[in-house]
Amino acid sequence: MAVVEGLAKTALVQELLSSPHQMLINGEWVDSASGKTFTTYNPSTGEELGQVAEGSEEDVNRAVAAARAAFDHGPWKETTPSERSRLLWKLADLLEENVQAFAELETLDNGKSVTISETVDMGLAIEHIRYMAGWATKLDGKHLNLSIPDTHAYTRREPIGVCGQIIPWNFPMLMAAWKIAPAMAAGCTVVLKPAEQTPLTALLFGKMIQEAGFPPGVVNIVTGFGEATGAPLAAHPDVDKVAFTGSTEVGKMILTASAGNLKKVTLELGGKSPNVIFADANLEAATGGAANGIFFNHGQTCCAGSRVYIEKKSFDNVVGDMANIANNIKLAPGMDDSCEMGPLISTEQLERVSGMVDGGIKAGATAACGGEVVSGNGGYFYKPTILVDTKPDMDVVVNEIFGPVVTAIPFETTEDIITEANNSVYGLAAGVWTSDISKAHKAAAALRAGTVWVNCYNLFDNHMPFGGYKQSGIGREMGVEAIENYLQTKSVCVQL
């Protein structure tokens, strides 16, 4: 049994941590069909944080049946766009009223700084829900000017149906908001499966969804492991669409599983994003931006700028300054006000990151800083790390590390660097730092990535679509494109 006294400041979190963590199916909080539970941990200490209902295919089937009934027959079908908009707005208000509780729960379950949980994760989640509330009333079809005489034809934009949504642990609450808000705006129903490492904020989100007044069965939340709950959800014949965020490896499995009933699929997957610094850039801004591009969220970010390319004549200076920034980042438990970087999510992730760095060093790379586990306090801390002297085919240059580890690589010409930056199976994001406006836009056009940041990195706006080229994904989050994922077009043709 977890010891939870004194872990959180808000009474709501203390109360939640002292209660069982059940699943939300058809508007009711229930244990898993098997009665089994699994442990979620506090990565800052390695201690147990709580026991969570461990779902299986039976629970997925119940949740999908509830979502199917709510979509096909429930009152949800009759809600007007303006009612859906008001429900979403109410939900955002409830999140805002409870923002401290959400931030504390996120930090305890995930490890990130509580200040970041509140200002970044929750701030973006709340605004995203409000942004999508605005779209609910603006989803129009159009009149079609046919060449067949005496016809009247038009399109309708209709909700796609029951959506299975599977999300990762790096931004648990934000990913839940990115998934649920557009689905609700479009009029779909949902079965959400949070990651096993971080199920708690999704469950609190479920409580707020109920309090806001969404009808039973419209949003269902099933907790459990990927193979036992995510896989049957992705394969379920009554699920019309699956939206997944996570590793490219599992993304491919989702695509295969969806083939049975030809579900619509959107995938937001991994990356190995290049951040290119030209010598004519504002180097102070570029250095800070490149450090933030990789060290934000401990590098556990799908769009992390994990390959930094620096024009040769500025290489030593930029790497030296980035190492200086890295060495001064304060590692601490997320609930500690001084925390600038918390622990990694799990022992598995700590082993994976340290194993990849050790492998890189063995293969000839040098750590300009970091390269070490911080041991002693039970938490999963890893020092921010910069690797130099790498070769293009090294594992640390080619594959996603998903930790606070960047490879810094010198380059000489613009042509070479675009080719090298694009030399990846991934294409999620890229950064360009230069004061030459022509060079900036040419590079932005030539980089094969879903987002290119120029003289900035990691800037997100709800109106700016985000998603991957190549093996970084299918479809987009945010912007009107995210809603499009949850709609389908019907043509209506009338002979007059």
- 230 contact, one of ligand NAP, Mg ion, none, CB 5-8 Å limit per kind: ligand NAP
- 269 contact, one of Mg ion, ligand NAP, none, CB 5-8 Å limit per kind: ligand NAP
Q: Which of 49, 66, 162, 195 binds ligand NAP (CB under 6 A)?
A: 195
Binding string, residues 393-432; x marks residues near ligand NAP by CB under 6 A: -------x-x------------------------------
- 225 contact, one of Mg ion, ligand NAP, none, CB 5-8 Å limit per kind: ligand NAP
What is the three-class DSSP state of 282?
Answer: coil
What is the three-class DSSP state of 167?
Answer: coil
339: contact with ligand NAP by CB under 6 A = no
Q: Which of 169, 295, 380, 486 binds ligand NAP (CB under 6 A)?
A: 169
Stretch that binds ligand NAP, among 203-211, 268-276, 308-316, 384-392 (CB under 6 A): 268-276
Dihedrals φ, ψ of 140, to 5°?
A: -95, 150
Among candidate residues 253, 357, 350, the one with its CA nearest the CA of residue 300: 350
- Considering the candidates 163, 302, 303, 339, report the single residue annotated as catalytic: 302
Q: Is 489 exposed, middle or buried (0-12, 13-18, 19+ CB in 10 A)?
A: exposed
Let me know: does 334 contact 110? Beta carbons within 8 Å.
yes
Beta bridge partners of 52: 21, 38
- Least distance to ligand NAP, CB of residue 27, Å: 23
Give the footprint of Mg ion on this chain (CB under 5 A): 40-41, 109, 197
Beta bridge partners of 156: 490
- 402 contact, one of Mg ion, ligand NAP, none, CB 5-8 Å limit per kind: ligand NAP
- The two tokens of residue 59 are 């629970």
Sheet holding 28-30, edge to edge: 28-30, 23-25, 219-221, 189-193, 162-166, 241-245, 264-268, 473-474
Residue number with CB closer to ligand NAP (121 or 400):
400
Residue number with CB closer to ligand NAP (29 or 225):
225
What is the three-class DSSP state of 4?
Answer: coil
Let me know: does 294 contact 261? Beta carbons within 8 Å.
no
Q: How far apart are CA 183 and CA 165, in angstroms?
A: 10
- Least distance to Mg ion, CB of residue 233, Å: 21
323 to 300, 369, 406, 435: CA distances (angstroms): 19, 6, 11, 23
- 398 contact, one of ligand NAP, Mg ion, none, CB 5-8 Å limit per kind: none
166: contact with ligand NAP by CB under 6 A = yes
374 to 44, 363, 370, 371, 417: CA distances (angstroms): 12, 23, 10, 10, 35
Residue number with CB closer to ligand NAP (270 or 343):
270
Largest CA distance in the chain: 80
Binding string, residues 295-314; x marks residues near ligand NAP by CB under 6 A: -------x------------
- Least distance to ligand NAP, CB of residue 483, Å: 20
Q: How far apart are CA 470 and CA 447, in angstroms?
A: 12
Q: How far is CA 407 from the centre of its chain?
A: 23
Q: Which of 43, 50, 270, 293 binds ligand NAP (CB under 6 A)?
A: 270
- 40 contact, one of Mg ion, ligand NAP, none, CB 5-8 Å limit per kind: Mg ion
253: contact with ligand NAP by CB under 6 A = yes
Let me know: does 141 contact 155? Beta carbons within 8 Å.
yes
Q: How far apart are CA 416 and CA 16, in angstroms?
A: 54
**Which residues between 212 and 241 bind ligand NAP (CB under 6 A)?**
225-227, 230-231, 234
Among candidate residues 382, 377, 432, the one with its CA nearest the CA of residue 402: 382
Catalytic residue at 302? yes
**Which residues between 466 and 485 bind ligand NAP (CB under 6 A)?**
none
- Least distance to ligand NAP, CB of residue 223, Å: 8
Q: What spatial distance separates the first Cα and last Cα of the chain, rounded to whole Å?
A: 71
**Which residues between 70 and 109 bind ligand NAP (CB under 6 A)?**
none
- 414 contact, one of Mg ion, ligand NAP, none, CB 5-8 Å limit per kind: none
- Considering the candidates 54, 106, 268, 400, report the single residue annotated as catalytic: 268
- Least distance to ligand NAP, CB of residue 382, Å: 13
Q: How far is CA 349 from the centre of its chain?
A: 17
Give the sign of the dihedral formed by CA 117, CA 121, CA 124, CA 130. Answer: negative
- 109 contact, one of Mg ion, ligand NAP, none, CB 5-8 Å limit per kind: Mg ion
Residue number with CB closer to ligand NAP (154 or 225):
225
- 250 contact, one of Mg ion, ligand NAP, none, CB 5-8 Å limit per kind: ligand NAP
Q: How far apart are CA 343 and CA 121, in angstroms?
A: 17
Dihedrals φ, ψ of 488, to 5°?
A: -130, 160
- Least distance to ligand NAP, CB of residue 145, Å: 42
Q: Which of 43, 74, 159, 168 binds ligand NAP (CB under 6 A)?
A: 168
Q: Which residues of the shown chain bind ligand NAP in the complex (CB under 6 A)?
A: 166-170, 193, 195-196, 225-227, 230-231, 234, 245-247, 250, 253-254, 268-270, 302, 400, 402
Q: Known catalytic residues?
A: 268, 302
